[in-house]
Amino acid sequence: MKIAEYIDSTNVKPNAKKEDIIKLCRDAVKYKFRGVCISPTWVKLAKQILRKENIKVITVIGFPFGYSLTKEEETRKAVNDGVDEIDMVMNISAFKSKKYKFVEEDIKRVVKVAEGRNVKVIIECCYLNKEEKIKACKIAKRAGAKFVKTSTGYGKWGARLSDVRLMRKAFGEGVKAAGGIRTYEQALKFLKAGASVIGTSTAVKIVRKID
């Protein structure tokens, strides 16, 4: 298995500098990662660097808490800057308040503005019980999302194998496992559990099998 093909190499740190993003992109070319996941600030730069490469430029929307009401505008700007995929955070606060229609419409608007680009919905599993995780997956599916994603990496915990298995069953193919995946062995376990994509900030260490 060429594990690099499943990895979105990620740097969404608040203190990420331009040179960090340049290195992230160059490493993606070197190791042939699936994509790079970065903040909206750096989409245009990443697209310039990777314009001739078969590597997706991915950005986060409504990050990291999901309760912003400007996801549509954020997405439109990212599309104009050349983004390939969108990782949006579900409005967890509205979801926990049982405002399910509101949550679904929020996702639908992003899907519409994304104009056919893959939209991944981050449901932030650490805040949801089993039934809520299933419901969140079904809402994301109805809204037109192509993936659901375990976490932002900024919640109480990140990806768990049990969550990936549950999400794969509830959503189908199209689960991104992210948050705390730092080794080759961990990444393999998540792929075997049903993940289609791995999001990690230690992508180079994973492909080089460095603990």
Q: Choose, from 87, 133, 141, 146, the residue flagged as catalytic.
A: 87
* DSSP designation for 16: -
Q: Give tens-digit pLDDT for 12-26.
A: 999 999 999 999 999
Task: Check if 23 is active-site.
Answer: no
Q: How many Cα neighbours within 13 Å face the side chain of 83?
A: 29
Closest-CA residue to 122 (of 73, 69, 82, 65): 65
Distances (CA, A) of 38 to 83, 161, 166: 10, 24, 27
Collapsed DSSP state (helix, strand, coil) of residue 202? coil
Collapsed DSSP state (helix, strand, coil) of residue 105? helix
Q: Choose, from 56, 81, 149, 163, the residue flagged as catalytic.
A: 149
Query: Length of the chain in residues, anyone?
Result: 211
Task: Check if 149 is active-site.
Answer: yes
pLDDT number for residue 211: 64
- Residue ranges of alpha helices (H) inside 18-129 are 18-31, 43-50, 71-80, 92-96, 100-114
Domains of the chain (ranges; CATH) run: 3-207 (3.20.20.70)
Q: Give tens-digit pLDDT for 109-151.
A: 999 999 999 999 999 999 999 999 999 999 999 999 999 999 9
| pLDDT confidence bin for 1, thresholds 50/70/90 | confident
Task: Check if 192 is active-site.
Answer: no
- Tell whether the model's pLDDT for residue 210 goes beyond 80: no
